Amino acid sequence: MTVLLAGDIGGTKTILRLIKADAIQPGKLFPELTTLHRQTYPSREFPDLVPLVKQFLAEAETRLGETLQPERACFGIAGPVVDQTSKLTNLSWFLTSDRLERELQISQVQLINDFMAVGYGILGLTPADLCTLQMGQPNPQAPIAVIGAGTGLGQGFLVPLPGGYRVFPTEGGHADFAPRSELEFQLMHYLLEKHNITRVSVERVVSGQGIVPIYEFLRDREVAPESPELMEVFRTWKREIGEEEKTVDPAAAISRVAMAGQDYLCQRTMEIFLEAYGAEAGNLALKLLPYGGLYVAGGIAAKILTLIQQGGFLASFLHKGRLTPLLQEIPVHVVLNPEVGLLGAALYAAQPVA
């Protein structure tokens, strides 16, 4: 038995998981993992990851009645990781693997990008963790693609190797937004003027930060009247700009009202969002031909699954002219497991680094 520590480190919250890993069985990529202790913490209440982990391990000892010192650890970081060093994007933590090894007395600590952790997590999902939009013709020898809209837009891919996969994160979310209709051209110009910028990345449309300006674009053009409920949400949201504690999330409110099916402005917002999301997923698929599967992860997809299943996402994914038949062969899945990144960190930790 090997004791592992996995973490999903974000600017808002940190989730830690203490794990028992059994020996890898023949024919398996990873060992069987058993969670011994799991806890979520507000990241900003700690000056650094070290005191947070020490508190977690002390709580685990109290709960389990024994001291379990992790042999290896992996942390998925919401920010860039270069040479096992990371300065978190929305948190004043500066992390290095060698310092964490020394101060936590863990022989091996690995830092990986949070979307890289999602990529490894894909390998540990079960059928219950997925909603399949298109069966396609799966090929285990082909690459796997991962795309996920959340706070930003993550993109990555997995390449099959003898005995497993290697995961590569990308910065594809910062590629140019490509309008496909007159309405999307108008949206692009709206974003250019609104933000006083010279280019629009696809992340500005396909992410949580994109839902709100799509709504504002439609509202400002009087596509439909704004409901009193959404009017109050936006009034509160604007009043709380600059404050750490927020009481409303306009993107979440828009998607929730859209799923209720009683507000045309919210419904049209989510239609445009999902069409752009599907189109970008199709762009990624054209570049990789991921017959191993394309997985839609991120913090948004599972929450708006009923809207995705209405067909606009997949229709835009497939709308690639004469190359549509190629995309029809690619399996497309929505990831329902909200902790796929934490699972990926655990699976990564389960692999000893030479």
Tell me the C-alpha distance between 146 and 159, whole Å: 12
> Among 18-27, 116-125, 189-198, whose mean pLDDT is lowest?
18-27
First to last CA, the chain: 19
pLDDT of residue 353: 58
Q: Would you place residue 284 in the very low, low, confident or very high pLDDT band (cuts 50, 70, 90)?
A: very high
- Strands in 13-21's sheet, in edge-to-edge order, are 33-42, 13-21, 2-9, 72-77, 108-113
Tell me the C-alpha distance between 90 and 78, whole Å: 8
Sign of torsion over alpha carbons 329, 313, 295, 320: positive
pLDDT of residue 201: 96
Phi, psi of 59 (to 5 degrees): -65, -40
DSSP 263: -
**42 bridge partner residues:** 13
Judged against a pLDDT cut of 60, whether residue 200 lies above it is answered with yes
Stronger pLDDT, 302 or 68, i.e. the higher one: 302
Q: What is the mean pLDDT of residues 151-172?
A: 90
CATH-assigned architecture of domain 2-124+339-349: 2-Layer Sandwich (3.30)
Judged against a pLDDT cut of 90, whether residue 162 lies above it is answered with no
pLDDT digit string, tens, across residues 44-60: 899 999 999 999 999 99
The residue ranges of every structural domain in the chain are: 2-124+339-349, 172-335
Can you read off the two tokens belonging to residue 22?
């059994």
pLDDT of residue 18: 95
Judged against a pLDDT cut of 70, whether residue 352 lies above it is answered with no
Chain-centre distance for alpha carbon 180:
25
pLDDT of residue 38: 94
Q: What is the mean pLDDT of residues 229-240?
A: 93
The Cα-based distances of 138 to 69, 119, 297 in angstroms read 40, 17, 18
pLDDT of residue 163: 79
Nearest to 180 by CA among 305, 315, 65: 315
Q: What is the mean pLDDT of residues 82-89?
A: 87
pTM: 0.92
Stronger pLDDT, 26 or 40, i.e. the higher one: 40
Tell me, which fold does domain 172-335 have in CATH?
A: Hexokinase; domain 1 (3.40.367)
The amino acid present at 254, given as its one-letter code, is: I
Tell me the C-alpha distance between 203 and 34, whole Å: 36
pLDDT digit string, tens, across residues 122-136: 999 999 999 999 999
